[in-house]
Structure 1
Amino acid sequence: MALTPSNMLPLGTVAPKFKLLDTIDDTHKSLDELVGDKGTLIMFICNHCPFVIHVNKELVKLANDFINQGIKCIAISSNDVGNYPQDRPELMKKKAIELKYPFPYLYDETQEVAKAYDAACTPDFFLFNKNLELVYTGQLDDSRPGNGIPVTGKDLRSAIESLIHKTSINPNQKPSMGCNIKWIT
């Protein structure tokens, strides 16, 4: 597993629009349909990455903790399913049901959405305000597989809390780290 940092899209960037297959209910959903009243968290994840597997339970907990506070979460998988068949849409659906994802799990077949967001790794996090302007693009927390630090989501949770309570979000944000997105060659 190659450790890849996120690219850190500039704060203030407006969320690129998209319409993708939601593997959970087999319908296409657009960003405009999924936005939260106070903010929207877009997470690039996948089924097989050890870094995502390490934080999956916290992603579910985080989404459940904030869904009633005006924050919507959206998960997107952009991996090349030809070379990484464990990330195929039918297996994404199975994983989402197994883990009880309280958010849509979208499939970016062409990888155009990942490229538009300059996503680099899984997990990669992009938190937008109600105007879809980027306010946080950093790590979940300092935990990584094998480093012994508990998964708390403290960095991302702090940014979401600040967004909800309209306080300033620390502009010094640590990049997320994980497996590189598996690009189609």
Structure 2
Amino acid sequence: MARTESAMIPLGTAAPAFDLADVISGEHRTLEQLRGEHGLLVMFICKHCPFVMHVEKELAAIGKDFAGKGIGIVAISSNDAEAHPEDAPESLKRQAEKLGFDFRYLYDETQEVARAYSATCTPDFFLFDKGLKLVYRGQLDDSRPSNLVPVTGRDLRSAMNLLLENKPVPEQQKPSIGCNIKWKNS
């Protein structure tokens, strides 16, 4: 289990466009279709990573808790499914259905979207405001698979609530830590 930190790209970075297939419906979804009135949360996750498995129930809870509040939420898996079959779209679909994800789950087969976002690990979180400018990139909370800290989603939830309240999100943010994205050999 290699620990990789998120890249912590500059706040204010514009959200890169995407057009990816949803693992449940097979339909393509774009950035513009998924953005909410107040912004968009983009989460890079997968099925097999112990760091994601540790927080996936909280991700489902965030999806339910923020549904209809004006922040679009999307999960994207960019792992090489040939090398990691557990992260193939059919397996991701089972994960989403089992956990009751209340948000779209897209598959980035070419890995171009992960590269455009500078995503480095799973989970990796990017919260954009209504102008699709980055206001938060970092950890879900202080919990990790081995540290016995309860999973609460505190850091990400706080940023999302501040965004909904039209208040500034503090710039002091801790990087997410997870497994590295499983890049294809080029």
TM-score (norm 2): 0.98
What code does the residue aligned with 1:143 have? S
| Alignment partner, residue 174 of structure 2 | 174
Q: Percent identity?
A: 58
Q: How many Å apart are 1:166 and its aligned residue?
A: 1.0
Q: How many Å apart are 1:63 and its aligned residue?
A: 1.4
Q: Distance in 1 between matches of 2:157 and 2:89?
A: 28
Q: Distance in 1 between matches of 2:15 and 2:113?
A: 10
Deviations 1:54-78 (A, max 9, x none): 0001111111111221111100000
Q: Distance in 2 between matches of 1:87 and 1:10?
A: 29
| Alignment partner, residue 125 of structure 2 | 125
Structure 2 spans left out of the alignment, 5+ residues: none
3-state SS of paired residue (1:68): coil
| Alignment partner, residue 50 of structure 1 | 50
| Alignment partner, residue 7 of structure 1 | 7
Structure 1 spans left out of the alignment, 5+ residues: none
Across the two proteins, how many residue pairs are aligned to each other? 185
Q: Distance in 2 between matches of 1:40 and 1:168?
A: 15
**Conservation of the 8 A alpha-carbon contact between 1:63 and 1:72:** no
Alignment partner of 1:36 is 2:36:
yes
Q: Distance in 1 between matches of 2:168 and 2:104?
A: 28
Q: Distance in 2 between matches of 1:13 and 1:67?
A: 25
Alignment partner of 1:110 is 2:110:
yes
Runs of 4+ in 1 over 2 A off after TM superposition: none
- Bigger drift between 66-75 and 9-18 goes to 66-75
Across the aligned residues of Structure 1 and Structure 2, the Cα RMSD in angstroms comes to 0.6
**Conservation of the 8 A alpha-carbon contact between 1:44 and 1:124:** yes
Q: Distance in 1 between matches of 2:15 and 2:128?
A: 7
| Alignment partner, residue 147 of structure 1 | 147
Deviations 1:79-99 (A, max 9, x none): 011110110011111111111
| Alignment partner, residue 184 of structure 1 | 184
| Alignment partner, residue 137 of structure 1 | 137
| Alignment partner, residue 17 of structure 2 | 17
Deviations 1:24-70 (A, max 9, x none): 11111111111111111000000000000000011111111112211
3-state SS of paired residue (1:74): strand
TM-score (norm 1): 0.99
